[in-house]
Structure 1
Amino acid sequence: MASKSPTILATSGGYKPGARTRLEFNKLVHYAVDLSGVTGRAPRIAHLGTASGDQRWFNSEISEAGNVAGFRLTHLNLFSMPNVGNIEEYLLGQDVVWVNGGSVVNLLAVWRAHELDAIFRRVWQAGVVLAGVSAGSICWFRGGTTDSFGPELRAVSNGLALLPYDNGVHYDSEAARRPLVHRLVAAGTLGETHCTDDGVGLLYRGTQLVEAVTETPGKAAYRVTLAASDGSTAEVVEERLDPTEL
């Protein structure tokens, strides 16, 4: 079942400790499923762990989380070769695509090698809900901030650009994230940047930001822009977006 319009849920969350497994899906993942509108059957979820090299041990834990949630969860692995014959057909058959975190720089390089940049645009336009955490959030934007190059955070600017903004993740849990976003916006390296505290997600219908949501009370999202202050100079403006609690 396809969503009524192209839909992206970009998050800094989605997992919680499990009762009998190491992790379970938290409310953000369940919200992504709700957005798909699927009823009367188990939701079909594709998990992509490209950003961490398709680690099979983590795939196993995600599979357990899917079983607990009642999802029909499968994995699109690209290492060492794609595990499906037709990637686009496989993705178009899903209700939700969930992209895990890791190295967004490596993720984007591998995706482009397999033409997933073009495929995901068509999958998005077809109404499959695209969602993810951390690298799985930044990838849908023009770019953002990343530790993919090393411990010192840097800008990444070659995202898929389905959304015409930049993205900041883990905004409250990693001290260097906020000041770097502000510096990069001030320098013009990043444009309008949408940021999420841990546990927060941003919902886009088409390219329009329509709602911030949270699985963790007290957290927030932020819109960071460069705005004229007195007609001749510009300053960075951070607008807090209070989310709806899931």
Structure 2
Amino acid sequence: MPAEQPTILATSGGFKVGLRTNLEFHKLVHHAVELSGSTRPRLCHLGTANGDQRSFNADLDEAGRLAGWEVSHLNLFTMPPTTDIPGFLLEHDVVWVGGGSVANLLAVWDVHDVGKAMRAAWEAGVVLGGVSAGSICFHVGGATDSFGPELRVVTNGLALLPYGNGVHYDSEAQRRPAIHAAVESGVLPLTYCTDDGTGLLYRGTDLVEAVSERRSGGAYVVRRDESSGTAQEETLDIRRL
């Protein structure tokens, strides 16, 4: 069952430690499934940003069984499981992109035309979601440690959403100043940011609301003030899931 309109849930969360398993799906992933409207959810996970680690895939398979969902994986290492990646994504209700190196993710996706497949799925009503690199990738770009401990900014995201994106805003000290500098210099456009456990819900290209699976943490928008030439940050309203 497709979502009513193109939907993206871009987050800095989604997983938690399980009681008897390594991982469970946290409230943000459950929210993505709810947004799809499916009663028999099919979730496709892309672990490109961490090199398609099969052990992590196994943890997510177990989390899927606990949630009562069908979980599959679009592994691009060492080769895709299909010659029809757009068709593969369209078989699912939710596509969830994991964290890791967003620079490597975008490079590998470019080789396999995953960006076009993502756009087709998004336009068809498949709910797109993800954490960290899996959040930045849907935007124009954002700050990343893909290249080393000193953050750099990537601007070759899929740009389904015409904004910058900042993740892990409250847990990594370099994130906020890196985003402010990129917005101030014009490297990034207006940029939406999330603390850990927080997600941004977009319908089409409009931000509808910020949500959180935690009792604390927030979401923010950073824009360039043209009169002063400086970056200005505002706190967004947030709904606790």
Same fold (TM over 0.5): yes
TM-score for the superposition, normalised by structure 1? 0.96
Return the offset for 1:235. 2.2
Q: Give the number of aligned pairs.
A: 241
Alignment equivalent of 1:236, drawn from 206, 211, 231: 231
Contact 2:42/2:71, CA 8 A, preserved across alignment: yes
Whole-Å Cα distance in 2 between the matches of residues 106 and 133 of structure 1? Answer: 15
Q: Deviations over 1:65-107 (max 9, x none)?
A: 1111111001110000001232111100100000000000010
| Consecutive aligned runs of 4 or more in structure 1 exceeding 2 Å deviation | none
Whole-Å Cα distance in 1 between the matches of residues 5 and 223 of structure 2? Answer: 27
Secondary structure of residue in 1 paired with 2:193: strand
Corresponding residue for residue 14 of structure 2: 14
Amino acid at match of 1:124: W
Contact 2:209/2:237, CA 8 A, preserved across alignment: no
Return the offset for 1:115. 0.7
Corresponding residue for residue 177 of structure 1: 175
Larger displacement relative to structure 2 (142-151 or 79-88): 79-88
Identity of matched residues, %: 62
Q: Deviations over 1:214-241 (max 9, x none)?
A: 000121000000113xx4x322110101
Amino acid at match of 2:175: R
| 1:67 maps to 2:62 | no
| 1:48 maps to 2:46 | yes
Any unmatched runs of 5+ in structure 1? none
Whole-Å Cα distance in 1 between the matches of residues 36 and 204 of structure 2? Answer: 14
Corresponding residue for residue 23 of structure 2: 23
Any unmatched runs of 5+ in structure 2? none
Corresponding residue for residue 125 of structure 2: 127
Q: Over the residues paired in the alignment, what is the CA RMSD in angstroms? A: 0.8
Return the offset for 1:190. 1.0
| Residues 96-175 of structure 1: pairs in structure 2 closer than 5 A | 96-175=94-173
Corresponding residue for residue 203 of structure 1: 201
Corresponding residue for residue 3 of structure 1: 3
